[in-house]
Structure 1
Amino acid sequence: MLDLILPLECGGCGAPCTRWCDACATALQVHSDEPHLVTPRVDPGVPVFALGRYAGPRRHAIVAVKEHGRRDLVAPLSRALALGIHRLAVWGIVATPLTVVPAPTRRAAARRRGGDPVARVADTATRTNPDITSVHALRTVGRARDSVGLTTTARERNIAGRVRLTGSAPAGEVLLVDDIVTTGATAREAVRVLRAAGSEVSAVLTLAHA
């Protein structure tokens, strides 16, 4: 009866009667050679790693969390992010104690989505590790547009000068995390602001690259 009123469907492929099917869980697994080093068009000045391409179940899950309020999908995305952070630590890219800083989200978008989905995934991914802390250190100000459909130059112009600290800069080693890296414009501005304030940013890690 509940399925008839509020039908369940997989957030990755739309399969009925499940929130997250086994096939999509497999597609989101972090393999031994992941995350991969990627090269966005705009260089943030630190290595950028992504857990997979922005396609298939990964893309559908990210969109469902961001645009359709599917908070139940925070769990599989945060597990993938936690494994990605662990791999970077094992490879020596980052070291603990570590501060994870979610990339900033426009306030209007956060209000529309009932909160910041990137921050929610980062918080969940780091919750059980006492050596890793998620700190919402960045925010956007002014009238930054939604970056979907903008060219690389337009994205850079759109975000330039609009990322600010919410308070004191995080001390020690910092890992910037985001859901998707496309041109790298947001990552570069976020890294610039953190470094200018004295934070030691070692890398960027995203759930997907486009």
Structure 2
Amino acid sequence: MRDWWRALAELVLPGECAGCGAPRTVLCDGCRRAVRRGPPRPVRPRDAPAGLPPVWAAAPYADAVRSVLLAHKERGALPLAAPLGEALAGAVRAALGEDPAGEGGPAAARGAGARDRPVVLVPVPSARRAVRERGHDPARRIAVAAAGALRRSGTPARTAAVLRQRRAVADQTELDAVGRLANLDGALGLRPGARALLPADGRLLVVDDVTTTGASVAEAARVLREAAETKGTGVPFAAAVVAASPGFFV
């Protein structure tokens, strides 16, 4: 109920742009373009954690993009999930070898042989305490919006929120790269019944709103690989995020 009223308030009384503070709009045209700035590119964190799959990002995590992501995550600006989902969908298409804009072209032709196979987006889960405090799971909400954008452009996509926190973890924002790896080591596991949601022949991607060290994405990929070995599910071959640290773009 709280999410419904919050979303309604944002739509009726948009206030100011989440990226630059321009009045009377949730997201101005300039900041909307910044979120989808140029074609998505591969990123690789320095000292990337073991097991990190190839990662594609739509934009650098800086300036307006950072403000928009924080507004959605921490301030509950729920209408921002739609443009953020569009950006994530572009990163997913790039990871699949399809046209990031969803409009065909040479990249789409390269991925045409696999386009009939389902695309399954597995969001990195937020800690249960964080979900309670925020009133929503940001990565999951953006993943749902991205799956919708992919379907509208002809890519059969859905989300599978099959991961869960197995133990309490510290707030990642207070930790360096080494601390984040230790904090998340073994922290994730599969939800009961997850196998039925992970087809063996689907194109499986880990998705998140932002990556700064790759620790969360690597831990999620580890769990899914173990599921593939023991339960016969699909193997995550890539990851896609809305934004990544600016220095990590390849």
Could you say whether these structures have the same fold, taking a TM-score greater than 0.5 normalized by the shorter chain as the test? Answer: yes
In structure 2, the residue matched to 1:37 is 42
- 1:191-210 to structure 2, matched below 5 A, reads 191-198=221-228, 199-210=234-245
In structure 1, the residue matched to 2:18 is 11
Per-residue Cα deviation, 1:110-163 (whole angstroms, up to 9, x for no partner):
111111011011111112516111110111121201111312221111111110
Is 2:15–2:26's contact at 8 Å kept on the other side of the alignment? Answer: yes
Structure 1 vs Structure 2: percent identity of aligned residues?
Answer: 37
Is 2:58–2:243's contact at 8 Å kept on the other side of the alignment? Answer: yes
Give the aligned residue type for 1:133: R
Give the aligned residue type for 2:43: V
Per-residue Cα deviation, 1:64-87 (whole angstroms, up to 9, x for no partner):
011001001111111111222223
Match of 2:59, SS? coil
Instruction: Identify the match of residue 47 of structure 1 among 49, 54, 62.
Output: 54
Is 1:101–1:177's contact at 8 Å kept on the other side of the alignment? Answer: yes
Pairwise CA RMSD: 2.2
Instruction: Give unpaired runs (5+ residues) of structure 2.
Output: 1-8, 99-106, 229-233, 246-250
Q: Report the structure, 1 or 2, having the larger helix content.
A: 2
Is 1:37–1:48's contact at 8 Å kept on the other side of the alignment? Answer: yes
Match of 1:51, SS? strand
In structure 2, the residue matched to 1:159 is 184
Give the aligned residue type for 1:36: R
Shift of 1:200: 1.1
Is 2:185–2:219's contact at 8 Å kept on the other side of the alignment? Answer: yes
Q: Distance in 1 between matches of 2:67 and 2:174?
A: 18
Is 1:8–1:19's contact at 8 Å kept on the other side of the alignment? Answer: yes
Shift of 1:7: 6.6
Q: TM-score, normalised by structure 1?
A: 0.90
Query: How many residues end up aligned between the 2 structures?
Result: 206
In structure 1, the residue matched to 2:3 is none
Indicate yes or no: 2:141 matched with 1:120.
yes
Instruction: Give unpaired runs (5+ residues) of structure 1.
Output: none
Match of 1:85, SS? helix
Q: Distance in 1 between matches of 2:227 and 2:14?
A: 48
- 1:77-88 to structure 2, matched below 5 A, reads 77-88=84-95
Instruction: Identify the match of residue 209 of structure 2 among 167, 179, 194.
Output: 179
Is 1:49–1:204's contact at 8 Å kept on the other side of the alignment? Answer: yes
Q: TM-score, normalised by structure 2?
A: 0.76
Q: Distance in 2 between matches of 1:71 and 1:103?
A: 18
Per-residue Cα deviation, 1:149-202 (whole angstroms, up to 9, x for no partner):
312221111111110111323123211001111111111111010010013101
Is 1:106–1:144's contact at 8 Å kept on the other side of the alignment? Answer: yes
Shift of 1:30: 4.7
In structure 1, the residue matched to 2:170 is 145
